[in-house]
Structure 1
Amino acid sequence: MVWIVVQTFSFPYEAQIAKTQLEAAEIPAQIENEHMINMNWLYSNALGGVRLLVPEVYADEAKVILAQDFSAELEQRFGVNEECCPNCGSKNIEAYIKGKKPAYIVFLLIGFPLFFYKHGNKCKHCQYFWS
């Protein structure tokens, strides 16, 4: 039986998820380079990533299964929590740590960490921060 590469991944957990999808569809699959990249992730690019292999007769079917996108189903089933800025209503927000740079500088100067920063969200549009 000839095994061929149907997809490559940067991280082993991604290959495990894809392998599980294929096995659920009763397609035999193997993962190559998983343990080497787990030991030293910097080898990922040098080795060509974590490779997902299937028998040649299942290759086309496996590629179709791996190309499916289930994000719309997940959004429909579990809903999307689209948070928006309380100041301007923009949905263009990011997780942000306020006071991180000054805390780092104080740590460098006096050698003692002062944790006076806050975790929250920041609007990329109006720069408003909230917890």
Structure 2
Amino acid sequence: MSKFIVVSKYSFPLDAHIAKASLESEGIPAHIADEHTVNMQWLYSDAIGGVRLYVPEEFEIEAKAILALNFSADVDSVFEATPEHCPKCNGLDLINYTKGKKPAFIVFILLGFPLFFYQHGRKCKDCGWFKEM
């Protein structure tokens, strides 16, 4: 029986499952740990080290090489991605952003459960513009 080792850590279980599927499609057995803990209490993800992806020790190098592959350019070329501009300042530095995350975290720490609704959207890092999605 071989020893299992951590080859990658993720903040969200979905990302870990995508990585696991990539490894298994190449014939590398993989196991995910702590996904249920993170699903139940997402605020604990960073505290416990995230969702961990394990593989047998003999597959470590090959697994890390597969996980390091970046297919972003291939996806962009298929969809011909064009850069998104901020409508307020015409900047290109837009990020995915969750509005209300910090207050919800503070209320969660004090009361044990979040009371706020979140707003997911895009935010301009240059001028602060936010658009809910």
Give TM-score scaled by structure 1 length. Answer: 0.65
| Residues 69, 121 of structure 1: alpha-carbon distance in 2 compared, 3 angstrom cutoff | closer
CA-atom RMSD, angstroms?
3.0
Q: What are the within-5 Å matches in structure 2 for residues 1-131 of structure 1?
A: 1-84=2-85, 90=90, 92=92, 94=94
Partner of 1:99: none
Structure 2 residue identity aligned to 1:92 = L
Q: Distance in 2 between matches of 1:53 and 1:20?
A: 12
SS for the counterpart of 1:69 is: coil
Q: Which runs of 5+ in 1 are unaligned?
A: 96-119
Aligned residues: 102
Q: 2:86 & 2:13 partners in 1: Cα distance?
A: 36
Deviates more, 1:43-52 or 1:75-84: 75-84
- Where in structure 2 are there 5+ consecutive unaligned residues? 96-121
* Structure 1 residues 59 and 84, CA gap change in structure 2 (3 angstroms): same
Identical pairs, percent: 47
Q: Would the alpha carbon gap of residues 72 and 39 (structure 1) be closer, same or farther in structure 2, given more than 3 Å must change?
A: same
What is the CA deviation profile of residues 28-85 of structure 1, one whole-angstrom value per residue up to 9, with x for unaligned ones? 0000000111011122122211000000000000000001110011111221133457
Aligned residue type for 1:63: K
Larger Rg: 1
1:47 counterpart SS class: coil
Q: Do the aligned partners of 2:9 and 2:49 also contact (CA within 8 Å) in 1? A: yes
The structure 1 segments of at least 4 consecutive aligned residues displaced by more than 6 Å after TM superposition are 85-88
